[in-house]
Amino acid sequence: MTITVLKSKVHNARVTVCNVEYEGSLSLDEELIKKANMVPYERILVVNVSNGERFETYLIPAEAGSKEVGLNGAAARLAVVGDPVIIMSFAQKEPQEQVKATILIMDEHNNVKDIKEVDV
As a three-state string, the secondary structure of the chain is: CCEEEEEEEEEEEECCEEECCCCCEEEEEHHHHHHCCCCCCCEEEEEECCCCCEEEEEEEEECCCCCCEEEEHHHHHHCCCCCEEEEEEEEEECCCCCCEEEEEEECCCCCEEEEEEEEC
Position 41 scores a pLDDT of 97
What residues are annotated to the active site?
A: 25, 58
Q: What are the pLDDT tens digits along the chain (120 aa)?
A: 999 999 999 999 999 999 999 877 999 999 999 999 999 999 999 999 999 999 999 999 999 999 999 999 999 999 999 999 999 999 999 999 999 999 999 999 999 999 999 999
Q: Which fold has domain 3-119?
A: Barwin-like endoglucanases (2.40.40)
- In this predicted structure, what is the pLDDT of residue 102? 98
What is the DSSP pairing of strand 3-14 with strand 25-29? unpaired
In the prediction, which pLDDT does 22 show? Answer: 87
